[in-house]
Structure 1
Amino acid sequence: MNGKIVVAVLALFLIYSAVSEGLSLARMGNELRCQCISTHSTFIHPRNIQDVKLIQSGPHCQDVEIIATLKNGREVCLDPTAPWVKIIIKAILQKAQDKDETKR
């Protein structure tokens, strides 16, 4: 009887371990890949952009990714080599740097 309980507890532990490891790998798989399949290079007026995320290249993706959230809620991957995108990113970084300097 005790042997069956030990086997049942071990089986439950192994199942729990396998499931939790699988969930960890699934989450990691989502993070370790590029988020942008294609990029948008035609001009989008800054008034239509609500937020911009700049994701540096790294082990997850060899490309710098710029993801703009538009005011209508749509997310668009921007081409980091497009001149208008470079200007917007430069302005955003300058604004952040100025904000950082005023805090000091």
Structure 2
Amino acid sequence: MSQISVVVFVVFLAILTMSEGMSLRGLGVEPRCRCIETERQRIGRLIESVELFPPTPHCEDTEIIATLKRTGQEICLDTTAPWVKKVIEKILSNRKP
């Protein structure tokens, strides 16, 4: 009898976990960080656009995602690289009125 209770509990947790992830995505919120690997090398000339994502409850890191000109590929940039810090400064200075 206790084995059935454990199975029911595990299934319940699985359903709860899946529904939580789906509801967050439906709201446009990623339930985890977008960037797993980051690029540190200078690729400034290859970049078409850059998006800055501030920390959230789901990801404590500031993330910078660059879209490449030729391929449209999105690449996460290393926020500690000196050239990326300059990109961040430029983005932030353009946001101020």
Superposition TM-score tier, normalisation by shorter sequence: 0.5 to 0.7
The match for 1:51 is: 49
SS in 2 for 1:69: strand
Identity between Structure 1 and Structure 2 (%): 47
Residue 48 (structure 1) shift: 2.0
Select the residue among 28, 37, 47 that pairs with 2:24.
Answer: 28
The answer as to whether partners of 2:66 and 2:76 remain within 8 angstroms in 1 is: yes
**Once superposed, what is the RMSD of the aligned Cα atoms?**
2.3
Name the TM-score, length of structure 1 as normaliser: 0.63
Is structure 2 residue 69 aligned with structure 1 residue 71? yes
Q: How does 1:5-24 map to 2 (within 5 A)?
A: 22=19
Structure 2 gaps of 5+ residues are 1-14
Letter matched to residue 68 of structure 1? A
Tell me the number of residue pairs that the alignment of Structure 1 and Structure 2 aligns: 77
Structure-1 separation of matches of 2:75 and 2:86: 17
**Deviation >2 Å, runs of 4+:** none
Structure 1 gaps of 5+ residues are 1-17
Whose helix fraction is larger, Structure 1's or Structure 2's?
A: 1
